[in-house]
């Protein structure tokens, strides 16, 4: 069967520089493609071309006869006044679903996405719930391929897990533009990176995101060797050309032509191999105060609804705090409490004197009529960074903007480029506390890696609201979790918070089961109890995504632990160590530590294996 989509020699250009040139690839039945690449590479534009929403400048897109493609762009908007039901009914009508099937289909889709109230206005939903609605609206037509542009940007962690399960259990093909590395790992069987560093304009690797990273590294190393080999050959040919060969013979002419071709090829390879990265570097204020913000029995209310209560917590210098919880649980409100924009409904908040907070809002508010020059330097062409005056062109180049872009309006920038503008502005302000609300939205993976390194090195306090589980696990040293039902608690890491949510859910189900059992006959109560027990068992045996990742690598860790233990035991048998009291004591301590670690790993391996069975 022919592919669903077949893009051949696609080129798209805005201004003088093409986004991509002569791109070719196919989308087959059941494909799970993750589309990645640096900001400005044209990922969203390419997805829109695949959807038929944008025409390529050159090249052809062939769609298999009677194949259906559904497209969900980054920004999910709905007309004012339309309810969730009306949005889905319009989609069912457009898809020509028979009248007798519409209500059942509507309720099936709404239930699958978690919508309980179909009368709520779609435009009033949070960004995450609008995204859910846009996705199930696209699924109404039973598409052969679903095209998703940054679908995790506004989803909370529960929403991301919902989408991962939806895609994993689907029969249609999926092409997803995403920067969420855990999401790519969980949902993709093919990774395509759109990047000018590749001769074909892209690199496609069949396998998970982890496999892609390995293959990409091998490809780049091979390219470097080819480049060096070509450079040596060019050096030889240039020396020959400098000696002034006479181009009279056919052999001399051919060698001169070949030398010029090699020089051109090397120049092309050199230009592709130039990889620029954003120069992100937040500056801490070097403040010596230890306790920066103290919460004492704090409760927060918004619009008459209590978001959480009983918060007792101290933000200290150097702390890396991750805030997690479902959309609407109060994460952004907690940031506003820290900043003093909201007053607590109960309790007190004490801030250190003259506390300097730098805040990145998830709203990405920028005056779209400003030029990039004025957005970066409002009062002239010079700005002050860490006590030094820097020209705006140099500052823009640090964030991968060209001189041509300086006089263009902000509205022409991509989402990732706007995020870089805001980060560039924040970096000019030394901070005691850095508050980042969903900083990863729209950033490409290379920029995310630079951001992570800088946040790890940042000496002030960091408060991070993000749905990027990789970033949380790498950066956060403490996690404060909100469950959306008014409870808030502190955890050592994201995995501990996730386990707490599972236990809380099981406890609620258990209490609910007891209440139901008490109001029915003994026989019915026994049936309810058995069902609740089976459901709890099923939940308990299901590996979370973090546990699945841990399970995939734990066997190797056990083998390494076995080797360490064997080495420790071998040292004890060394006659030289046995006759040295100090060395013997150290060897015994090393063996005890290795045995404890080994037992712990085997116990954890057994626990995960039991869940995975």
Q: What CATH topology corresponds to 5-197?
A: Rossmann fold (3.40.50)
> Strand, helix or coil at 315?
strand
- Per-range mean pLDDT, top range of 126-140, 276-290, 433-447, 517-531: 126-140
Q: Which residue has the higher pLDDT, 250 or 352?
A: 352
E strand intervals along 432-573: 433-437, 461-465, 478-482, 488-491
| E-strand stretches of 317-455 | 320-324, 346-351, 357-360, 382-385, 388-391, 433-437
What average pLDDT score do residues 601-609 get? 75
Q: Do 185 and 157 touch, CB atoms closer than 8 A? A: no
Q: Can you tell me the mean pLDDT for 90-108?
A: 90
Q: In what order do the strands lie in the sheet with 291-302?
A: 305-316, 291-302, 346-351
- Give me the DSSP letters along 93-154: HHTT--HHHHHHHHHHHHHHHT---TTSBGGGS-HHHHHHHHHHHHHTT--SEEEEESTTSS
Q: How far is the C-alpha of 468 from the C-alpha of 28, rounded, in Å? A: 29
Residues whose CB falls within 8 Å of the CB of residue 538, separated by 6 or more in sequence, listed in order: none
Q: What is the mean pLDDT of residues 535-557?
A: 58
C-alpha distances out from residue 369 to 50, 362, 375, 411, 413, Å: 31, 20, 10, 7, 12
Average pLDDT over residues 496-521: 65
Q: Is the pLDDT of residue 49 over 80?
A: yes
Rounded (10°) angle between helices 581-612 and 545-572: 150
Fold of 545-612: Helix Hairpins (1.10.287)
For the chain, the structural domain boundaries read 5-197, 222-273, 369-429, 496-541, 545-612
> Is 70 exceeded by the pLDDT of residue 242?
no
* Range with lowest mean pLDDT among 243-247, 487-491, 554-558, 576-580: 243-247
DSSP 445: H
Residue 245 has pLDDT above 70, yes or no: no
At 11, the pLDDT band (50, 70, 90 cuts) reads: very high
Residue 293 DSSP SS3: strand
- Mean pLDDT is lowest, of 68-77, 259-268, 403-412, for 259-268
Question: Is residue 175 within 8 Å of 27, Cβ to Cβ?
Answer: yes
Could you tell me which of 20, 35, 11, 25 has the C-alpha nearest to residue 174? 35
Supply 111's token pair. 């239930």
Nearest residue to 25 via CA among 48, 53, 3 = 3
Q: Are strands 478-482 and 488-491 parallel, antiparallel or unpaired?
A: antiparallel
pLDDT for the residue numbered 537: 38
| 567: confidence class by pLDDT, cuts 50, 70, 90 | confident
Residue of higher predicted confidence among 215 and 416: 215
Q: Which residues of 407-419 are buried (b: 16+ CB within 10 A; e: fewer)?
A: eeebeebbbbbbb
Q: Are 198 and 187 in contact (CB under 8 A)?
A: no
| CA proximity to 325, closest of 149, 168, 500 | 500
Region 15-35: mean pLDDT is 89
Token pair 């009368």 in the structure block, residue: 119
Q: Which residue has the higher pLDDT, 211 or 551?
A: 211
Examine the pLDDT at 420 and tell me if it is beyond 90.
Answer: no
The residue that leads in pLDDT, 213 or 272, is 213
Q: Angle at the Cα of 472 (from 467 to 477), degrees rounded to 5?
A: 145
Q: What's the token pair of residue 525?
A: 């109560």
> For the segment 437-450, what is each residue's pLDDT rounded down to a tens digit?
888 888 888 788 88
pLDDT band for 503, please (50, 70, 90 cuts): confident
Q: Given 3-state DSSP classes, what are the helix, strand and coil percentages for the chain, each rounded to the nearest 5? A: 50, 20, 30
pLDDT at 237: 65
* pLDDT tier, 541 (very low <50, low <70, confident <90, very high otherwise): very low
- Note whether 544 and 500 are within 8 A (CB): no
List, in order, residues 6 or more apart from 222 with CB less than 8 Å away.
none
The CA distance from 422 to 278, in Å, is 13
pLDDT higher for 116 or 148?
A: 148
Check residues 531 and 391 and name the one with the higher pLDDT.
Answer: 391
- Of 274 and 186, the one with more pLDDT: 186
Task: Tell me the average pLDDT of the chain.
Answer: 82
Tell me 486's DSSP state.
B
Alpha-carbon dihedral sign for residues 544, 550, 553, 558: negative
Residue 529: band (very low, low, confident or very high) from pLDDT cuts 50, 70, 90: very low
Question: What is the structure's pLDDT at 121?
Answer: 92
Lowest-pLDDT range of 199-203, 258-262, 288-292, 581-585? 258-262
Query: Would the pLDDT of 192 be above 90?
Result: yes
Binned at pLDDT 50, 70 and 90, residue 268 comes out as low
For residue 378, name the pLDDT band (cuts at 50, 70, 90). Answer: confident
pLDDT one-digit tens code per residue, 449-491: 888 888 888 888 999 998 888 888 889 989 999 988 888 888 9
CB atoms within 10 A of CB 208: 20
Q: Which residues pair with 69 in a beta bridge?
A: 145
Q: Within its chain, how far is the Cα of 592 from the centroid?
A: 40
Among 202-211, 276-285, 305-314, 464-473, which stretch is predicted with the lowest mean pLDDT?
A: 276-285
**pLDDT for position 198:** 86
**pLDDT for res 31:** 95
Res 531: pLDDT: 34
């Amino acid at each position: 069967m022919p592919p669903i989509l077949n893009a051949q020699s696609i080129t798209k250009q805005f201004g003088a520089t093409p986004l991509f040139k002569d791109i070719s690839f196919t989308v087959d039945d059941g494909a799970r493609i993750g589309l990645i690449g640096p900001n400005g590479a044209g990922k969203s534009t390419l997805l829109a071309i695949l959807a038929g929403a944008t025409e390529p400048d050159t090249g052809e897109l062939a769609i298999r006869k009677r194949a259906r493609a559904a497209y969900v762009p980054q920004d999910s908007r709905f007309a004012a006044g339309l309810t969730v039901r009306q949005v889905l009914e319009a989609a069912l009508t457009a898809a020509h679903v028979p009248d007798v099937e519409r209500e059942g289909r509507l309720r099936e889709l709404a239930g699958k996405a978690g919508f309980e109230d179909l009368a709520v206005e779609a435009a009033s939903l949070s960004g995450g719930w609008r995204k859910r609605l846009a996705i199930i609206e696209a699924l109404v037509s039973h598409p052969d391929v679903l095209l998703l542009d940054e679908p995790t940007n506004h989803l909370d962690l529960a929403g991301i897990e919902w989408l991962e399960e939806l895609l994993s259990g689907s029969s249609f093909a999926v092409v997803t533009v995403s920067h969420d590395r855990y999401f790519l790992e969980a949902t993709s069987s093919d990774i395509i990176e759109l990047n000018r560093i590749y001769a074909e304009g892209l690199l496609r690797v069949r396998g998970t995101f982890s496999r892609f990273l390995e293959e990409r590294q091998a490809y780049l190393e091979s390219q470097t060797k080819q480049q060096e080999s070509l450079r040596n050959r060019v050096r030889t040919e240039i020396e020959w050309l400098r000696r002034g060969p006479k181009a009279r013979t056919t052999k001399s002419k051919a060698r001169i032509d070949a030398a010029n071709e090699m020089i051109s090829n090397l120049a092309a390879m050199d230009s592709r191999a130039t990889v620029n990265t954003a120069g992100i570097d937040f500056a801490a204020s070097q403040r010596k105060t230890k306790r920066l913000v103290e919460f004492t029995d704090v409760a927060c209310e918004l619009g008459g609804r209590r978001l959480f209560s009983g918060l007792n917590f101290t933000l200290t210098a150097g702390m890396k705090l991750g805030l997690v919880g479902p959309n609407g649980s109060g994460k952004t409100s907690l940031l506003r409490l820290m900043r003093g924009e909201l007053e607590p409904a109960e309790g007190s908040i004490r801030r250190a004197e003259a506390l300097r907070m730098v805040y990145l809002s998830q709203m990405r508010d920028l005056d779209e009529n400003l030029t990039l020059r004025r957005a970066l330097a409002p009062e002239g062409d010079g700005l002050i960074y860490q006590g030094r005056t820097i020209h705006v062109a140099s500052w823009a180049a640090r964030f991968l903007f060209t001189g041509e872009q300086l006089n263009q309006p902000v509205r022409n920038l991509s989402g990732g480029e706007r995020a870089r503008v805001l980060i560039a502005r924040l970096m000019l302000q030394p901070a005691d506390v850095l508050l980042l609300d969903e900083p990863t939205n729209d950033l490409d993976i290379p920029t995310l890696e630079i951001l992570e390194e800088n946040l790890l090195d940042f000496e002030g306090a960091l408060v991070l609201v993000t749905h990027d589980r990789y970033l949380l696990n790498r950066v956060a040293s403490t996690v404060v979790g909100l469950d959306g039902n008014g409870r808030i608690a502190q955890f050592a890491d994201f995995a501990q918070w996730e386990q707490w949510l599972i236990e809380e859910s099981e406890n609620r189900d258990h209490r609910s089961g007891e209440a139901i059992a008490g109001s029915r006959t003994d026989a019915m109560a026994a049936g309810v109890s058995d069902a609740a027990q089976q459901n709890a068992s099923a939940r308990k045996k299901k590996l979370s995504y973090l546990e699945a990742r841990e399970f995939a690598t734990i066997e190797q860790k056990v083998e390494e632990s076995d080797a360490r233990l064997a080495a420790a035991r071998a040292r004890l048998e060394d006659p030289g160590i046995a006759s040295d009291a100090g060395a013997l004591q150290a060897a015994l301590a090393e063996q005890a530590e290795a045995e404890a670690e080994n037992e712990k790993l085997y116990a954890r391996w057994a626990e995960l294996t039991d869940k995975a069975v």
